[in-house]
Amino acid sequence: MARLKHTVILDPPLSRDELSRAVAVPFDVWQGLRAEDHRLVAEDGRTVQGVALFDGAHATAGARYVRDEETAAPLAKGAIAPRVTLVEWDRAAGVALRVDGQRLGPGPTPRLAAELRLRGVERPESATLRVDGSVSRPGRQRRRWLRWFTLQAELDFGRWYASAAGTAGRPPLLVQVRHSLVRGEARATPRPAPGGAWEVEVLVNARGRGVLRPVVAVPLLVAKRMLRRSLAESLPRAAEVWRERVQPDLVRDPADSRARLLDELCTPYDQREDTARDVRAGGSAVERRETD
């Protein structure tokens, strides 16, 4: 079994009211679009790029969306073109999206199915994500059980903010990954830090599964060193992205956020690339503490 623990500082934090305002923005923007045939159009007459309404009524449960080949960015080789279905769409009850796709053509065929659920838009209660992936090879049935994985993640916002305020309890963020050979789990728990920051403890466990568990134990010991190095590098980068980009975007004035999101949805992909190159920039190191 591989077990690792790291602590990372997230600063500045995000209040629950700020979270609620940020979550409402994409809901309001998508709700405000109108459908003209299969195209989606903003209130100012601009057309949403890369997305087309395939079936159902826009912004209602059952609506299905697909890639608009005329306005979408070219797919990378081997990429999967997703289809999105609105399973639930209600400000009070919540939102649920299902994404699925399959790459067609010769060679291995990857399949992807994901479902994202958010309970409560006005005041988010919880978010869950499930991703199922598999790869099949035409005419080859042996070892099919090796070519699949499942990821499940759950974030309880109430427990997160209670824990960040110093109340002990179960970790509010749980991520689990299952494969026929390996099972992994990550738990994240925030604690109050000086200056109002969040000190987030991340605990990762990985172990073999089934009859091959003793065989997998040795590779896991090797992978532990790689995972430790990966966490030591990725968590500070994630905290830096949070500080420099994510948190400032989330606390932005809602009207400004809506305008920016509409611009992103309605800007042709080649112009988006130019804007993205202007935005990308490095940042300073982020304070971090590690324990094994």
pLDDT score, position 108: 66
Here the tokens at position 187 are 């738990």
∠90-22-43 over CA atoms, to 5°? 70
**Helix residue ranges, H only, 101-175:** 157-164
Q: Order of strands across the sheet with 94-102?
A: 51-55, 64-67, 83-90, 94-102, 109-119, 126-136, 148-156, 173-178, 182-192, 198-208, 2-10, 288-291
Could you tell me the pTM of the whole model? 0.82
Please name which of 43, 91, 24, 35 lies closest in space to residue 63, comparing C-alpha atoms: 35
| pLDDT one digit per residue (tens) for the chain, 292 residues | 678 899 999 999 999 999 999 999 999 999 999 999 899 999 999 999 999 999 999 999 999 999 998 999 888 777 778 899 999 999 999 999 999 987 655 666 778 899 999 999 999 999 999 999 877 665 555 455 457 789 999 999 999 999 999 999 999 999 999 887 788 899 999 999 999 999 999 999 887 665 455 545 545 555 667 778 888 899 999 999 999 999 999 999 999 999 999 999 999 988 866 555 554 444 433 333 344 4
Q: Are 94 and 119 in contact (CB under 8 A)?
A: yes
Question: What is the pLDDT at residue 276?
Answer: 54
pLDDT at 26: 96
pLDDT for the residue numbered 119: 97
Domain with 266 in it: 2-291
Query: Residue 217's pLDDT is what?
Result: 52
Angle between helices 157-164 and 16-32 (to 10 degrees): 150
Please report the pLDDT score of residue 104 as a whole number. 58
pLDDT at 291: 41
Q: Work out how many domains the chain is built from and give that number.
A: 1
Looking at residue 230, what is its pLDDT? 81
